Amino acid sequence: MQALIEQIEHKYQSLGQDPETYLKGLLHTRPLTYWDYIQVDTLLSLQHPRTHFPDEMVFIVYHQVTELLLKLVRHELDQLTSGPLAAAEIFEEKTQRLVRYTRLLSMSFSIMNQGMSREEYNQFRLALAPASGFQSAQFRYIELQCTPLEHLIPPSRRAEARPDMTLREKFQLVYWQDAGYDRATGVKSLTLQQFEDHYLASFVELARRMERDNLYLRYLALAQQGKDTDALRSALRLFDYTFNVSWPLVHLQTAHTYLGSGHEQTAATGGSHWEKYLHPKYQKRIFFPALWSEEERARWGEIEVSA
């Protein structure tokens, strides 16, 4: 016990604080409870359906769970893309975490695909316009942390990305613009306008910070030092494929369940052509292109690839 007290004293003295003050404070501190630590009451109060349809609660809670999982992905990326370059084993460990979080996102989509009444969904969704899952900023932050901005521009538009373009101008070419930007008329949907008004400045700032520190460039730096491993390459491939192919495809499957396809296709709440926007073969979004063969890149989203 005496050794522990000495450690406490050393801790606070090194901070220029009086250890006795903190020890006395312990006399008045309430024991911690699970509900206070996890903020359960607050968490369970954050669901506010806009209609009377019971399945709208499923829709809200699932999307909130998704955002929490995306926060975990960003938590790992924050560590990998800041500070000194991580050692290969740390890089691999954290990438495996990214894989687990993203796999959970993919596997859990059955909650949406099989867990709501199609009739109810197509009623309560009308009260949500122009909001759209497209407006998930965390998804975009993850993309910007993982790969250079140029990789988020569809191959068909990369020739338009002039060297003298500002970052803000390049954002007008990224793949997600196709969900709400009519390039023929120059008109953007309200969904896209609201999204950019709220988040574009933060996207540009993050892209600027990630120009030299995104996950792909940090991996390449490790590889140039001869410190990458087969296990790390495999983990990065699996994360890339799960995030950019597997998850969008189950999302697309769910959209087909509720919105139909072909001639019976229903517009998304944000007004996007969701079938073309969601399918990875159109987006060609690949975080780590050097880890994939030319054939795999060419057939991205069309065939299952091994990791």
Residue 259: predicted pLDDT: 78
Packing angle of the helix pair 215-224, 230-241 (nearest 10 deg): 160
Residue 262 pLDDT level (bands cut at 50, 70, 90): very low
- What average pLDDT does this structure show over 111-139? 93
CA distances from 57 to 52, 93, 153, 254 (A): 10, 35, 35, 17
Residue 281 pLDDT level (bands cut at 50, 70, 90): confident
Q: Can you give the pTM of this predicted structure?
A: 0.90
- Please state, in angstroms and rounded to a whole number, the distance separating the CA atoms of residues 82 and 218: 10
- What average pLDDT does this structure show over 39-56? 97
Residue 266 pLDDT level (bands cut at 50, 70, 90): low
Residue 49: predicted pLDDT: 97
Residue 268 has pLDDT above 60, yes or no: no
Show Cβ contacts of residue 292 under 8 Å, excluding neighbours closer than 6 positions.
237, 240, 286, 300, 305
CA distances from 234 to 70, 96, 99, 184 (A): 21, 10, 11, 41
The two three-digit tokens of residue 8, written as one number: 């406490």
Report how far Cα 287 is from the mean position of its chain's Cα atoms: 13
Residue 255 pLDDT level (bands cut at 50, 70, 90): confident
Identify the CA nearest to 288 among candidates 251, 249, 246, 233: 233
- What average pLDDT does this structure show over 158-169? 92
- What average pLDDT does this structure show over 88-100? 97
Q: Domains along the chain?
A: 54-298 (1.20.58)
Residue 164: predicted pLDDT: 92
- Please state, in angstroms and rounded to a whole number, the distance separating the CA atoms of residues 52 and 50: 7
- In terms of pLDDT, which residue wins out, 284 or 231? 231
- What average pLDDT does this structure show over 81-107? 96
Identify the CA nearest to 80 among candidates 243, 215, 232: 215
Residue 263 pLDDT level (bands cut at 50, 70, 90): very low
For residue 170, count other CB atoms closer than 10 A to its CB.
18
DSSP the chain: -HHHHHHHHHHHHHTT--HHHHHHHHTTPPPP-HHHHHTHHHHTT----SSS-THHHHHHHHHHHHHHHHHHHHHHHHHHTSSSPPPHHHHHHHHHHHHHHHHHHHHTTHHHHSSS-HHHHHHHGGGTTT--GGG-HHHHHHHHHHS-GGGGS-GGGGGG--TT--HHHHTTTSGGGGGTEETTTTEE-HHHHHHHHHHHHHHHHHHHHTTTTSHHHHHHHHHHTT---HHHHHHHHHHHHIIIIIHHHHHHHHHHHHH--GGGPPPPTT---HHHHH-HHHH---S-GGGS-HHHHHTTTTS----
Residue 239: predicted pLDDT: 97
Q: What is the largest CA-CA distance in the chain?
A: 77
Residue 274: predicted pLDDT: 57
- What average pLDDT does this structure show over 238-259? 90
- In terms of pLDDT, which residue wins out, 260 or 225? 225
- Please state, in angstroms and rounded to a whole number, the distance separating the CA atoms of residues 291 and 233: 7
Residue 304 has pLDDT above 80, yes or no: no
Q: For residues 149 and 204, is the Cβ–Cβ distance under 8 A?
A: no
pLDDT, one tens digit per residue, over 69-85 is 999 999 999 999 999 99
* Cα-based torsion angle of the residue sequence 146, 149, 155, 161 in order, rounded to the nearest 10 degrees: -170
Q: For residues 27 and 33, is the Cβ–Cβ distance under 8 A?
A: no
Residue 271 has pLDDT above 70, yes or no: no
Residue 277: predicted pLDDT: 67
Residue 279: predicted pLDDT: 83
